[in-house]
Amino acid sequence: MARLKLKAEKISDLKVIASAVQDSILRTSDIKFFRGGRYMNFRLLRFLNESDSSARAQSALRVDGVISVRSRGIKKTDDNIMAVLLDVNFTKTQSPGGFINFIFANQIEIQVEVECIDILLADLTNAKKTNKTPKH
């Protein structure tokens, strides 16, 4: 299967990326905010929902034009927590800016204030079969 590479610049694009990253797993230590560069990186194991077989690929999600970041449910003292990404959505404030909300299992949420929607998702490795599939 070909590696996935997607870019989002509007809400409809973001919905496609949200469906592609649903059920991804990651460590909270794999979420980095680069204040000086005004971007955020997420390194995750993406469940290939588009595949007929159960597989995951190492992927990167980059959010550009970041103004600020807030989180809930993440302890600063334990950056080794595993999280399951459930949804990504956008709340418009002053066009084209707004908040991108990353919703995780176990009441973890990251809210990223952005100038506009500017996200890139790219698979970094080929898919590998897994016997751990989402249970929903």
pLDDT digits (tens, 9 = 90+) for 15-55: 999 999 999 999 999 999 999 999 999 999 999 988 778 89
User: How far, CA to CA in Å, does 4 sit from each of 67, 70, 95, 106, 113?
Assistant: 27, 28, 29, 28, 26
pLDDT of 75 above 80: no
Per-residue pLDDT band for 130 (boundaries 50, 70, 90) equals: confident
Q: Is the pLDDT of residue 88 over 80?
A: yes
What's the pLDDT band for 136 if we cut at 50, 70, 90? low
| DSSP category for residue 113 | E
DSSP letter, residue 2: P
What is the value of pTM for the model shown? 0.91
Q: CB–CB of 89/100 below 8 Å?
A: yes
Average pLDDT, the chain: 92
Residue 86 pLDDT greater than 90, yes or no: yes
